[in-house]
Chains A and B, each alone.
Chain A
Amino acid sequence: MRYIVNTAADRRAMLAAIGVDSIDDLFVDIPPEVKNRYRPLGMGEKSELEVREAVEELSLRNADPHAVIPFLGGGMYDHYIPSVVGHVISRSEFYTAYTPYQPEASQGTLTTMFEFQTMVCELFGMEVANASMYDGGTALAEAALMAERGVGAGKIGIARAVFPHHRRVVDTYTWAAGIDVVEVPYMADGRIDRAAIPAGLSGLIVQTPNAFGALEDLAGLKDAIGDAFLIVSVNPLSLGVIAPPGEFGADIVTGEGQPLGIPMSFGGPGLGLFATRMRYIRMMPGRIVGRTVDAAGNVGYTMTMQTREQHIRRARATSNICTNAQLSALTATVYLATLGADGLQEVAQLNMEKAHYLAARIAAIPGYELAFSAPFFNEFVIHVPGDPQAVRSALQEDGIDVADPRILASLGVNNAIAFAVTEKRTRAQLDRLANRLEALQ
């Protein structure tokens, strides 16, 4: 095996030093019945060249990205990733390091974690962020558990227009925790129906832009829910132009960080974003890095506030999370550092402007109309004439992919298709889509 360093002579010398005759002598503690039951996979060793070719061939069973134009959203989007990002995260000092348990040997990772926390706070308008969660869905589920720890009402409200794939994770975690989840309907404009928010909640979960792309109006929402935590799930890229949830009194802000320079990679690894208020820090899940000084008085960074965490608090920890999504967090950090505040605003504007161009073009086609009147960012829903599956198939024949309309139908929006538009879409591609729909008439 190529990655073994010991030679046969090394192995003999080591066995002699240990005082045993053979390798098998090192495994005498495994019961013979167990060893006898072992069944091999039936796989031979393969060379690097053979494995490369086999995996490349498997990749060719996926569609050619140049042959399919994606208008797919749902928290993951086809954004441009600047070259710098891949080069920095390919530094093996970063990607082959473990969790920074020895801070003196991990200042690179720790400093970037501190930068990441700062950037998340800046984007979200919040006071403290953790070093990441697994993805958007698990970050939201952990937020529900934290609100329950904080308030203890046994009940979480969740806007119906939260991504169904995030909602499912919330449902799983809250089921185990014995927390009731109450769905809050949306109004005709696509936004949460405030009048339908029940009383006595531990937390209210809203998402903006929501599953329809609609930007929720967060003003006054915190005041409307009493002691309950206001939990807001956001698309971080939208915050280049949209006011951050922190300005509206959010207690916890979460999000899927994939839009910040992370490849879609069939849905993972993503990046769970999680931020809260300083007064709740003891309830917060996940790792946190802080600034301190070394024995010579120089600035350095270390993991801190660890008495919340499983390796110290064990059964009473705020979460069981250990390994999270550090390299994705580094990716987002380098992405944001490369863009700067101005670049972030620029890319957010491009997303928004192109999405509105496409929406206007489609809505001008007879029989097609925007399903909701609320303002949107880079994703929107269109009511289509006839069977949306037929429309989707027609688009696919022309090399255009949109999400399965059954996802919207599961949220009570029938005969509709969602479109997501990023800075990568050219006006020619947007026109091609609109023209194709026109031609269906």
Chain B
Amino acid sequence: MITTIFDRKGHERVGGLFPPADTPHATAELIPPDLKRKVAPRIPNVPEPEVVRHYMHLSKLNYGIDDGIYPLGSCTMKYNPKLNEDLARLPRFAVAHPLADTSHVQGSLQLLYEMERILAHIAGLAAATLQPAAGAHGELTGMFLIRRYFEDRGDSNRKYILLPDSAHGTNPASATIAGFTVREIKSGPDGMVDLAALDSVLDDTVAGIMLTVPNTLGIFEERILEITDHVHRAGGLCYFDGANLNAYIGRARPGDMGADVFHFNLHKTLSTPHGGGGPGSGPVAVAEALVPFLPVPRVVHRDGSYQFDWDYPRSIGSMHSFYGNFGVALKAYAYLLQLGDAGMRAVSENAVLNANYLQTLLKRVYPLPYDRLCKHEFVLSGKGVGNGVTTLDIAKRLLDYGFHPPTIYFPLIVHEALMIEPTETEGKETLDQFAAAMEQIAREAKENPELLHNAPVNIPVRRLDQTRAVRQPILAYPFTD
């Protein structure tokens, strides 16, 4: 039985959190009657022990990376080191006010400054900004930068952004919000960008291409240098979506592949926790030609101290109220300090090894539409398992076996897709157990499909009625008073 805090009986005033007022004024006399709140918000007064039990109970209905493998493709659900959580709570970082005098926040500024440099280097690009608060926000920043770049050159003709049909949904949405029109290019039979299809749309109306490398099938674009070269020759720019950086961190750099703009997902590749849906951080690195357009303020080191510099007249402006998600950048910074070069290499090595191993085990049981070397993830199809069993059924049955399911029904170019990304922080033993459960589910699909249609049965709630949620929307607590 799931209850909300609003189901708690209201108590009398609880109090005790704050000392009594030590100043003479009374609010009642300070607020003009027409500005005064007359009806209190319906938030019950609940004593602390009951608040704690309520949220402890809810936490137990959740599955996190500390509970087990979380193989959501393209989400890079790796272990989140505990050290980084401690460091983000260091008092002098946690209480730093964004408008504090810069002499009071030299540590915070130095961290931002160093992190931007480290990220620019990992990207193989000239400079970076930490302002974007998530991956999609990084995409939007990148699209704005490209827009400004052409505006600055007086080239108003370039209104198209090219996107492979395997792209994440955020890509077309980001390009559109930045004022571009999206043109989709079909993938070739090998799952990669078809150069001929690309060339057929490249002209002086194309502002650029958004690529995910490796792509969402987990396949590295082997012709990446030709792709970026062709786009550049046509006068366009190349945006790389960094969601899949875990596949090659420590071994290759997007700048060396022809990227002009690249966004990181610190909450994926660099281990910061996802928090059930954020906060993330989506720093953007750019090539030299785009540096003048980066968001302001920028952090500079000048005359022996770290400062903000606003004097970038060609900048796109600001993307965030302040300087981005400092608390997230701090965790990623600590992670990179631990890793060093060798650690980054070990990340991509084990991420790719784990994915190929799991792909090898599972392709015996489930169709693998693009059967080849994968990078950090791969995409199976649930189609053809038989007996009317869908990918959704497979995912829900995995819950009964205690595993979080993979990403499902994405990418769109694979029917009944199951997109699996184990990450480097799972071991062979866990992968073997996961594969065994997937094999068992395939057997059940043939022998007793009802088990799958009815799944899950072993967890706190059964399958939820999504249609009802849309048709009869209840989007806030239905108070009866």
- The answer to whether A and B interact is yes
Give Cα A45 to B67, complex, Å: 27
Decide if A29 touches B222 in the complex (CB within 8 Å): yes
Give Cα A317 to B168, complex, Å: 13
Partner of B2, one of A70, A264, A300, A352: A300
**Which of chain B's residues have a CB closer than 8 A to the CB of A129?**
475-476
**Which of chain A's residues have a CB closer than 8 A to the CB of B149?**
none
A47 to chain B, nearest CB (A): 8
Decide if A350 touches B18 in the complex (CB within 8 Å): yes
Contact A56/B90 with A134-B320, A268-B325 known, Cβ cut-off 8 Å:
yes
B233 proximal to A (CB < 8 A): no
Give Cα A127 to B473, complex, Å: 12
Q: In the complex, which of the residues B18, B59, B88, B342 has the most CB atoms of chain A within 10 Å of its own CB atom?
A: B59
Given contacts A291-B474, A346-B15, 9 further A-B contacts (CB under 8 A): A10-B427, A34-B252, A50-B337, A95-B275, A102-B395, A108-B59, A172-B144, A341-B40, A345-B40
Decide if A176 touches B462 in the complex (CB within 8 Å): no
**Which of chain B's residues have a CB closer than 8 A to the CB of A42?**
341
B284 to chain A, nearest CB (A): 13
A372 to chain B, nearest CB (A): 14
B405 proximal to A (CB < 8 A): yes
A356 proximal to B (CB < 8 A): yes
Partner of A31, one of B25, B225, B319: B225
Which of B105-113, B199-207, B381-389, B441-449 lines the interface with chain A? B105-113
A37 proximal to B (CB < 8 A): yes
Partner of B44, one of A165, A325, A340: A340
A108 to chain B, nearest CB (A): 3
Within B405-449, the residues touching A (CB, 8 Å) are 405, 407, 410, 424-428, 430
Contact A18/B360 with A119-B43, A176-B147, A242-B37 known, Cβ cut-off 8 Å:
yes
A210 proximal to B (CB < 8 A): no
Give Cα A30 to B252, complex, Å: 8
5 residue pairs from A and B, CB less than 8 Å apart: A46-B338, A63-B103, A98-B75, A108-B62, A326-B277
A105 proximal to B (CB < 8 A): yes
Within A286-334, the residues touching B (CB, 8 Å) are 287-296, 298-302, 304-305, 309-317, 319-328, 330, 333-334
A103 proximal to B (CB < 8 A): yes
Decide if B350 touches A6 in the complex (CB within 8 Å): yes
Decide if A91 touches B277 in the complex (CB within 8 Å): no
**Which of chain A's residues have a CB closer than 8 A to the CB of B427?**
5-7, 10
Contact A342/B321 with A98-B75, A426-B22 known, Cβ cut-off 8 Å:
no
Nearest chain B residue, comparing its CB with the CB of A270: B321
Contact A217/B35 with A76-B98, A91-B56, A427-B22 known, Cβ cut-off 8 Å:
yes
Decide if A62 touches B461 in the complex (CB within 8 Å): no
Give Cα A10 to B426, complex, Å: 12
Contact A37/B253 with A48-B83, A138-B320 known, Cβ cut-off 8 Å:
yes
Contact A105/B404 with A44-B342, A119-B41, A343-B14 known, Cβ cut-off 8 Å:
yes
A435 proximal to B (CB < 8 A): no
B344 to chain A, nearest CB (A): 8
Decide if A46 touches B101 in the complex (CB within 8 Å): no
**Which of chain B's residues have a CB closer than 8 A to the CB of A409?**
none
Decide if A341 touches B104 in the complex (CB within 8 Å): no
B390 proximal to A (CB < 8 A): no
Contact A46/B340 with A304-B466, A375-B30 known, Cβ cut-off 8 Å:
yes
Contact A34/B273 with A340-B46, A353-B27 known, Cβ cut-off 8 Å:
no
A423 proximal to B (CB < 8 A): yes
Nearest chain A residue, comparing its CB with the CB of B21: A353
Partner of A109, one of B100, B277, B343, B360: B277
**What total count of A-B pairs have CB within 8 Å?**
682
Contact A107/B2 with A94-B64, A305-B473, A427-B22 known, Cβ cut-off 8 Å:
yes
Contact A63/B92 with A4-B346, A294-B465 known, Cβ cut-off 8 Å:
yes
Give Cα A3 to B335, complex, Å: 10
Which of A77-85, A199-207, A223-231 lines the interface with chain B? A77-85
B261 proximal to A (CB < 8 A): no
A72 proximal to B (CB < 8 A): yes
Decide if A340 touches B396 in the complex (CB within 8 Å): no
**Which of chain A's residues have a CB closer than 8 A to the CB of B285?**
none
Decide if A52 touches B86 in the complex (CB within 8 Å): yes
Q: Which 8 A-B pairs have the closest CB atoms?
A: A267-B322, A327-B275, A5-B427, A267-B98, A340-B45, A326-B277, A108-B62, A61-B107
B353 proximal to A (CB < 8 A): yes
Within A32-55, the residues touching B (CB, 8 Å) are 33-35, 37-48, 50-52, 54-55
Decide if A343 touches B15 in the complex (CB within 8 Å): yes
**Which of chain A's residues have a CB closer than 8 A to the CB of B139?**
320
Decide if B317 touches A175 in the complex (CB within 8 Å): yes
A139 to chain B, nearest CB (A): 9
B193 proximal to A (CB < 8 A): no
Give Cα A188 to B166, complex, Å: 56
A85-122 interface code vs B (CB 8 A; 1 in, 0 out): 01110111111111111111111110111110111011
A65 proximal to B (CB < 8 A): yes
Within B75-91, the residues touching A (CB, 8 Å) are 75, 77-81, 83, 85-91
B307 to chain A, nearest CB (A): 12
Decide if B77 touches A265 in the complex (CB within 8 Å): no
**Which of chain B's residues have a CB closer than 8 A to the CB of A72?**
97, 99-100
A278 to chain B, nearest CB (A): 8
**Which of chain B's residues have a CB closer than 8 A to the CB of A115?**
4-6, 477
**Which of chain A's residues have a CB closer than 8 A to the CB of B312?**
none
Nearest chain A residue, comparing its CB with the CB of B329: A268
Contact A95/B273 with A45-B342, A58-B111, A107-B461 known, Cβ cut-off 8 Å:
yes
Give Cα A269 to B324, complex, Å: 7
Partner of B92, one of A20, A60, A338: A60
B116-142 interface code vs A (CB 8 A; 1 in, 0 out): 001001101000000001111101100
Decide if B428 touches A176 in the complex (CB within 8 Å): no
Give Cα A228 to B122, complex, Å: 46
A382 proximal to B (CB < 8 A): no
Decide if B175 touches A172 in the complex (CB within 8 Å): no
A401 proximal to B (CB < 8 A): yes
Give Cα A396 to B343, complex, Å: 43
Q: In the complex, which of the residues B41, B80, B357, B474 has the most CB atoms of chain A within 10 Å of its own CB atom?
A: B41
A437 proximal to B (CB < 8 A): no
B326 proximal to A (CB < 8 A): yes
**Which of chain B's residues have a CB closer than 8 A to the CB of A320?**
136, 139-140, 170, 173-174, 176-177
Give Cα A312 to B462, complex, Å: 24
B370 to chain A, nearest CB (A): 12
Nearest chain A residue, comparing its CB with the CB of B178: A176
Partner of A401, one of B41, B101, B110, B137: B101
Decide if B134 touches A323 in the complex (CB within 8 Å): yes
Give Cα A127 to B337, complex, Å: 46
Partner of B323, one of A48, A112, A173, A266: A266
Give Cα A317 to B249, complex, Å: 31
Give Cα A135 to B176, complex, Å: 21
B453 to chain A, nearest CB (A): 10
Decide if A88 touches B55 in the complex (CB within 8 Å): yes
Contact A41/B340 with A298-B461, A324-B134 known, Cβ cut-off 8 Å:
yes
A12 to chain B, nearest CB (A): 10
**Which of chain B's residues have a CB closer than 8 A to the CB of A240?**
37
**Which of chain A's residues have a CB closer than 8 A to the CB of B219?**
29
Q: In the complex, which of the residues A62, A92, A292 has the most CB atoms of chain B within 10 Å of its own CB atom?
A: A62
Q: In the complex, which of the residues B27, B425, B478 has the most CB atoms of chain A within 10 Å of its own CB atom?
A: B27
**Which of chain A's residues have a CB closer than 8 A to the CB of B11?**
340
